[in-house]
Structure 1
Amino acid sequence: MTTVTIERMGQQGDGIAPGPIYAPMTLPGEVVTGKVDGTHLTDIRIVTPSPDRVSPPCSHFRSCGGCQLQHASGDLVADWKREVVAGYLKHAGLEADVRPTITSPAQSRRRASFAARRTKKGAMAGFHGRKSDTIVQVPNCILITPTLRTALPMCEDLAVAGASRKAALSITVTESDTGPDVAVTGGKPLDGTLRITLAALCEQHRLARLTWDGELIGMRAPPGQSMGTARVVPPAGAFLQATEHGQQTLTDLVCSIVSSAKSVVDLFAGCGTFALPLAETVEVHAVEGDSDMMIALDAGWRQAAGLKRVTTETRDLFRRPLLPDELARFDAVVIDPPRAGAVAQMAELARAQVPVIAHVSCNPQTFARDAETLCNAGYLLDWVQPVDQFRWSTHVELVGAFRLAHIAA
């Protein structure tokens, strides 16, 4: 057995000892023993625990792969996520005020992707086990909302009806204002019998909408989502912020950054998470590569009362970023790209010199890269706010406030 002292936490939440040696579920400052297998420590025993070590609050933690950090105190996780963001910025040669992490509460995840598999006696549904394809049933999960927990029997019924014996279904369940919005992938091919069975399950479980590998099975009522004062019905399986708390936090931050603008362009706008709340006070042009999302956003705007003008444009911003002459008519930019960031669009933003940019990101590494592009072009990064919608995971989101140096507050 080897004894090591954990010095820090890595990007995947593992403790790291000199070597480096990676030790899962250990914390900085802990003395641990185990067997060294290459660069990893196995058969770990905690000799000297960290004062930040806590008893995992969820009974499923040891087996479920949905959470990685329930053995650490909330303060430690929040501080670590803040340090992750600051570390990537430092690596890019940038300094900024990185604010303390804002964390969504327990039992607030309104969207989850469950795995469901047929068994000899019926079916089982839950999350995949830690680094495993095994499905762990999670009836007492404290991450998701109580409504999502009650959806697990429905997921089992869907597996009995339409899963093959060789593969699990992936079932995305999203809370909406009219009931669960359910999108299934990986099921058997649809035929007449299966359609009838699935339609009956849609009624039995009072689902707002059920789609099967992209095909609509039934919609009892359009599954609406609030985007400010507007109501939007997103396409099945469309992106949605993980928690209502997180969505409101991000929206408030974005609105504060662009509060002095008279016209805003929202890039990678999705279904209107930011565009529609912004339209309560300012005209917005929303750009997104998915035409169905743009249709949903436009419908939400047209049906809402009291909003400023919102225009939409379906456009692949990776291949056809907005150019400086197109950006020149706007006072501010909101951009919320996927994890890969937005290299091409950032280059054009740097050239365009729009006075204010609110950058939302779900990847601190690509955010730091894109932030470097803007700062090299004369922008100041006023502050960065980490937002943790994925409590007890290694995932972190953030908002950054950029202003041209000569007008920075």
Structure 2
Amino acid sequence: MSEPIVRIAARGDGVTDSGRYAALAAPGDMLLADGTVEPGPNHQQPPCRHFPECGGCQLQHVADDAYRDYLKDRVAGALTQHGLATEIRDPHLSPPNSRRRATLRALRAGKSLVIGFNAERSNRIVDMRECHILRPELFELIDPLRHLLATLLPLRRTGEVHLTLADQGVDVALKGVEAEGYEAAEALTAFGDANGLARLSLDEGHGPEVRYEPEPATITLSGMAVALPIGAFLQATGDGEAALVEGVREACGGASRIADLFGGLGTFAFALGGEIVAAEAARDAVLALQSAARRAGRPITADHRDLYRRPYDVKELAGFDAVVLDPPRAGAEEQVKQLAASAVPRIAYVSCNPATFARDAAILAAGDYKLDWVRPVGQFRWSTHIELAASFSR
């Protein structure tokens, strides 16, 4: 019996009303009795030769309108599981070739070296020959990195390549490689010069060590140049960051005293007005944020604090007009419990996990907060990974 695909499941498979699953199916496709898929109006030709083998993308076969619906459905479904509903705004989609950070893997086998993302649900590396999600500045380094790593990566050992687009160029952090001796040091410097890198660092098992950095690497956040620590968290795309900032500004509603919890390098702190306390567990991020704020004369206080072990309690939250939350994928359950018992008028919540967001939203709702709206943000183009910005008010 043939059935139409009606939605996309969390992991990217198409699903029929009866609960049959089909890989690489889009809403409007027909799942035939023999298990094959007949493409429908929302099924597009994937642009990349590596799809679906490469794990960097799961949904290149889905047209943009259906992809937007998928993002909205994921958020709505997570909220429904906790008995919540609200306005879910039209998602923001980052365009192709806009990812400004990525982690790739590399392996040397004999004279050949492969570099790229892992295959879907596998440790096998798909050798990257084209990519439709990375910024051109990142992709242009793939072939030069092949040549460099062929001399530095031990035989049959897997290395990691972390790429981040900084203000001065690409920041390259290598892990699992060996660069001993004068010739290796010279090769790294020459590589940095030849490719106009912002910075090149190596982690040989004892933490990252800078080998090339003509000038201090920075990242500009809302017009503020902030020192960029190696491996620091950064929103995946510039336009996605802008969409999240816009949502946070709206949710804060012009508040004059704001707590920015899980503040990172200041993505939201520097975008907001008023007096701000930014709490963050990563010491290097705290120092970078505080230094930039002092240079600019901004009333931002950085608090080095692990919010999982020591969340702001009700007494500490008193006096804040708004709170911004941007936790990791695990969410912010302990901090949210304190917020639910507080009198803070407005909360802006940025999340990269609809499931933990919905759990935390239910705690806030039980504390008499209203979930005003949610806007999904698809920074990880053609993937099942979803970011969002949300507004809560008393």
1:327 Cα offset (Å): 0.9
TM-aligned CA deviation for residue 61 of structure 1: 1.7
**CA distance change for structure 1 residues 380 and 60 in 2, over 3 Å: closer, same or farther?**
same
1:359 to 336, 341, 349: 349
Of residues 327, 352, 360, the one that matches 1:370 is 360
What amino acid is aligned across from residue 97 of structure 1 in structure 2?
A: E
- Among residues 237, 242, 266, which one is paired with 2:236 in the alignment? 242
Partner Cα distance (1:199, 1:25) in 2: 44
Aligned residues of 1:206 and 1:220 also touching (Cα < 8 A): no
Letter in 1 for 2:298: K
Matched residues in 2 for 1:324 and 1:190: separation?
A: 53
What are the Cα deviations for residues 346-390 of structure 1, in whole angstroms up to 9, with x where unaligned? 011111221110000000010000000011101111111111101
Report the Cα offset of residue 83 of structure 1. 0.9
Q: Does 1:269 align with 2:263?
A: yes
Structure-2 separation of matches of 1:367 and 1:286: 21
Query: Which structure 2 residues correspond to residues 365-404 of structure 1 after superposition, within 5 A?
Result: 365-404=355-394
Please list, as runs of the form range in 1=range in 2, the aligned pairs for 1:47-62 lying within 5 A after superposition.
48-62=38-52
Other-structure match for 1:221? 215
The structure 2 residue matched to 1:341, chosen from 319, 331, 341, is: 331
Give me the whole-angstrom Cα distance separating, in 1, the residues matched to 2:329 and 2:187. Answer: 38
Determine if contact 1:116/1:155 at 8 Å carries over to the other structure.
no
Cα RMSD of the aligned pairs, angstroms, is 2.0
- CA drift of 1:129 comes to 2.3
Cα shift at 1:202: 2.5
For 1:301 and 1:161, the matched residues in 2 are separated by 42
Partner Cα distance (1:378, 1:158) in 2: 57
Match of 2:90?
100
Q: How does 1:285-304 map to 2 (within 5 A)?
A: 285-304=277-296
SS at match of 2:166: coil
1:104–1:391: 8 Å Cα contact kept in structure 2?
Answer: yes
TM-score normalised according to structure 2 size? 0.93
Contact 2:277/2:302 (8 A) holds in 1: yes
Distance in 2 of aligned mates of 1:229 and 1:118:
41
Deviation at 1:277, TM superposition (A): 1.6
Q: Which residue of 2 aligns with 1:211?
A: 201
User: Which has the larger displacement, 221-230 or 393-402?
Assistant: 221-230
- 1:116 aligns with 106
Q: Which amino acid aligns with 1:275?
A: A
> Given the alignment, which residue of 36, 46, 57 partners 1:45?
36
Distance 1:354 1:117, change over 3 A: same
2:95 & 2:6 partners in 1: Cα distance?
29
Deviates more, 1:285-294 or 1:133-142: 133-142
- Structure 2 residue aligned with 1:185: 175
The aligned counterpart of 2:276 is 284
3-state DSSP class of the match of 1:6? strand
Cα-to-partner distance string for 1:50-104 (whole Å, 9 max, x where unaligned): 2111111223223322111111110001111101101111111111101111111
Aligned to 1:231: 225
Residue 323 (str. 1) matches residue 322 (str. 2): no
Which whole-Å CA distance do the structure 2 matches of 1:194 and 1:18 have between them?
A: 59
Q: Is residue 332–residue 360 contact of structure 2 (8 Å, CA) maintained in 1?
A: yes
CA distance in 2, matches of 1:192, 1:378: 64
Output the CA distance in 2 between the equivalents of 1:50 and 1:283.
53
How far apart, in 1, do the equivalents of 2:229 and 2:274 lie?
26
- Distance in 1 (CA, whole Å) between partners of 2:289 and 2:33 is 54
Q: Does 1:146 align with 2:145?
A: no
Write the distance in 2 (CA, Å) between the matches of 1:224 and 1:327.
Answer: 32
CA distance 1:383–1:217, shift in 2 (3 Å): same
The letter for the 2-side match of 1:15 is G
Q: CA 1:118 to 1:285, structure 2 compared with 1: closer, same or farther past 3 Å? A: same
Q: In 2, Cα distance between the equivalents of 1:229 and 1:8?
A: 40
Q: Give me the whole-angstrom Cα distance separating, in 2, the residues matched to 1:287 and 1:363.
A: 21
The 1:310/1:396 distance shift into structure 2, 3 A limit, reads same
Q: Distance in 1 between matches of 2:73 and 2:234?
A: 26
Q: Structure 1 unaligned segments of length 5 or more: list them.
A: 36-43, 405-409
The Cα shift of 1:248 comes to 0.9
Provide TM-score, normalisation by structure 1: 0.90
AA partner of residue 291 (structure 2): A
Query: Is contact 2:29-2:42 (8 Å) kept?
Result: no
Give, in angstroms, the shift of residue 140 of structure 1: 2.7
**CA drift at 1:31:** 2.9
Structure 2 counterpart of 1:157, which letter?
H
Q: CA deviation at 1:126?
A: 2.0
Q: CA deviation at 1:234?
A: 1.7
Structure 1, residues 243-272: CA drift from partner, whole Å, max 9, x if none? Answer: 000111111111121132111010000011
Percentage identity across aligned positions? 40
